[in-house]
Amino acid sequence: MSASASGRSPETTPDQRILEHACDHLRRFGPKRTTILDIAEAAGMSHANVYRYFPSKLALFDAVTEQWLKALESQLRVIKEGPDPAYDKLERALSAIQKTYRAKLEADPALFDLLCDAIAKNRVVARKHRNKMQGEIQAIVEEGINSGSFRLADRRRAMALVFDLAHRFIQPISIALDRSIPTPDLDFRASRAFAAIQRSLVYGDPDFDL
């Protein structure tokens, strides 16, 4: 069968092919019923060959998680490096996180749940993603402080304010717990929280004791 007939690009590498079939099996059967043997059979290779690229089923699942998070991490980087004022960048970055997670939860719950599991168990893939996300947000906050856009000039307090007030809307496990709330309602509540964060940073809040 040709590459075009199989729906696969001729440039697809073995590890990419494994990830594609892993995603398909996870969506259809969930993590407990997904096996390396089934993925290998679907990819047209031996299970030993799968282990050449991914040493365990958990490592493969984490690679699946890492793969879909790359687009969000890239989006945050573009926002951070853009020409907009820091307060606009911050709102766009927080909204991107909230909307991306919520969309993934709705469209691809099996893969979103893998991220939640990685966070709950403090696995490397979750820590790396959290560090990247926090790093981009911190860079935006520091830009706002350095430019004078943010009156709340204490970096530690500013970061604590952002993540404390935004937590419900940008933490995957919290988002999963809110899955029964209609998306428009959650988007509205998130936008109010992000606006409150912007106001506190731009105008300062001397009575806000962290």
- Helix residue ranges per DSSP H, 56-123: 57-81, 86-107, 109-120
Tokens coding 149: 């856009």
DSSP state of 208: -
DSSP state of 121: T
pLDDT for residue 3 is more than 60: no
Least confident of 4-18, 94-108, 128-142: 4-18
- Which residue ranges form the domains of the chain, and what is each CATH number? 8-53 (1.10.10.60), 62-203 (1.10.357.10)
CB atoms within 10 A of CB 28: 11
Distance in angstroms (rounded) separating the CA atoms of residues 169 and 184: 13
pLDDT at site 207? 53
Q: Specify the pLDDT at position 5.
A: 40
Quick one: pLDDT band at residue 6, thresholds 50, 70, 90? very low
Using an 8 Å Cβ cutoff, are 94 and 166 in contact?
yes
Give the other-Cβ count within 10 Å of 37's Cβ: 11
Please tell me the distance from the alpha carbon of residue 147 to that of residue 10, in angstroms, as a whole number.
49
Average pLDDT, the chain: 92
The confidence band for 205, taking pLDDT boundaries of 50, 70 and 90, is: low
Q: Which of 108, 92, 116 is nearest to 191 (CA)?
A: 92
pLDDT digits (tens, 9 = 90+) for 44-101: 999 899 999 999 999 999 999 999 999 999 999 999 999 999 999 999 999 999 999 9
Question: Does residue 7 register a pLDDT over 50?
Answer: no
Best mean pLDDT range from 2-6, 7-11, 185-189: 185-189
81, 51 contact by CB (below 8 A): no
Q: What angle do CA 159, 64, 49 make, to 5 degrees?
A: 145
